[in-house]
Amino acid sequence: MTRLKTAVFPVAGLGTRFLPVTKSVPKELLPVHDRPLIEYAVEEARAAGIEHFIFVNAPSKQALEDHFRAAPVLEADLKSKGKHAALAKIRNTVLGDALKVVYQDHALGLGHAVLCAKHLVGDSAFAVLLPDDFLLCDTPCMTQMVEAWQSVGGNMVATVDVGRSAVSAYGCLNVTSQRGRVLSADGVIEKPDARHAPSTHAVIGRYILQGSVMDALARTRPGAGNEIQLTDAIAEDSKTSGLFGLEFAGQRFDCGQPAGFAQATMTMAGLAPARLSLAA
């Protein structure tokens, strides 16, 4: 059984949809209810057995790294004041040597961000988690994916059926067959024209990729939006590695934009109903 030990978290984006907040505060540190967005994604990876966490960060967003480092002065303060619950909260987030950081100096797109981690990932399969896809699941999404991937292999992406009206905002799978929640695909296309989209199965921000996707990325020329598209490299590599989608069981919130963020926070705070049973 192939084990998945490494996850890449691209967090170097500009977060323009959250300006002016993101002028000085990384989007990924904004709280969904009581914890920063990034913490949920890191926990999801940890629950799936990931041991090596690679942040592709921007030099201006170092607060993101600090969040996962030890804070000895704060710890000492909390300890001396007997605030043990608060102390546990900050200790739980420390990743220590398991966290490696590489910088993307300019936000040249998701594909370029993932490529920045090539030397740290090596040749093995790796996960990619985009923290701004906030996923509420009984079994964490990456755990569901690892389980499915261990039987089918290849490249695997998490998918949501977004309907024809929304599909042109996503990468879209060309689905050839479906078995339970696992979709077999023979291609993926970034931001298709809605009328010509091969399906309504959109790729969301969870991936398990073969190491060879890094080589494909290195060869990929800028595509949609004049950015190096991760989708294009996955499409290329999947010709030999194979491509699968997982219609994960759970609810997705698009925390890349303020309304999705508000919905996620309301749901986590118990102020709006979760729809787990609908999607499960």
Nearest CB to ligand UTP, comparing residues 26 and 245: 26
When asked if residue 223 is in the footprint of ligand UTP (CB under 6 A), the reply is: no
Query: Nearest to residue 177, comparing CAs of 264, 244, 235, 240?
Result: 244
- How many CB atoms lie under 10 A from the CB of residue 254? 17
Position 231 contacts ligand UTP (CB under 6 A): no
Alpha-carbon distance of 230 to 228, in angstroms, equals 7
271 phi, psi to nearest 5 deg? -95, -5
Closest CA to 156 of 224, 76, 86, 245: 245
Using the rule CB under 6 A, which residue among 131, 140, 171, 245 binds ligand UTP? 131
Among 6, 8, 13, 238, binds ligand UTP (CB under 6 A): 13
**Which of 44, 55, 64, 109 lies at the binding interface for ligand UTP (CB under 6 A)?**
109
Going from the C-alpha of 89 to that of each of 9, 33, 141, the distances in angstroms are: 22, 14, 23
Contact 261, 255 (CB under 8 A): yes
Q: Which of 154, 171, 245, 256 binds ligand UTP (CB under 6 A)?
A: 256
Residues 269 and 208 sit within 8 Å (Cβ to Cβ) = no
| 56 contacts ligand UTP (rule: CB under 6 A) | yes
Q: Examine residue 250 and tell whether it contacts ligand UTP (CB under 6 A).
A: no
Q: 244 in the Ramachandran plot: left (φ > 0), alpha (ψ -120 to 50) or beta? A: beta
Please select the residue that binds ligand UTP; options are 6, 104, 199, 251, rule is CB under 6 A. Answer: 104
Q: Which position has the token pair 């996707």?
A: 213
| Cα 94 to Cα 30, 75, 120, 138, distances in angstroms | 18, 12, 20, 24
**Is residue 145 close enough to count as binding ligand UTP by CB under 6 A?**
no
Residue 132 binds ligand UTP, judged by CB under 6 A: yes
**Residue at 29: amino acid letter:** L
User: Which residue lies nearest ligand UTP, judged by its C-beta?
Assistant: 13
Stretch that binds ligand UTP, among 6-14, 176-184, 188-196, 260-268 (CB under 6 A): 6-14
Q: Which of 127, 130, 136, 189 binds ligand UTP (CB under 6 A)?
A: 130
Residue closer to ligand UTP, measured from CB, 139 or 263: 263
Site string for ligand UTP, 26-55 (x = CB under 6 A): -xx---------------------------
Question: Does 177 contact ligand UTP by CB under 6 A?
Answer: no
15 contributes a contact to ligand UTP by CB under 6 A: yes
Contact (Cβ atoms closer than 8 angstroms) between residue 212 and residue 241? yes
Report the interface residues with ligand UTP, using CB under 6 A: 10-17, 27-28, 56, 104, 107-110, 112-113, 130-132, 256
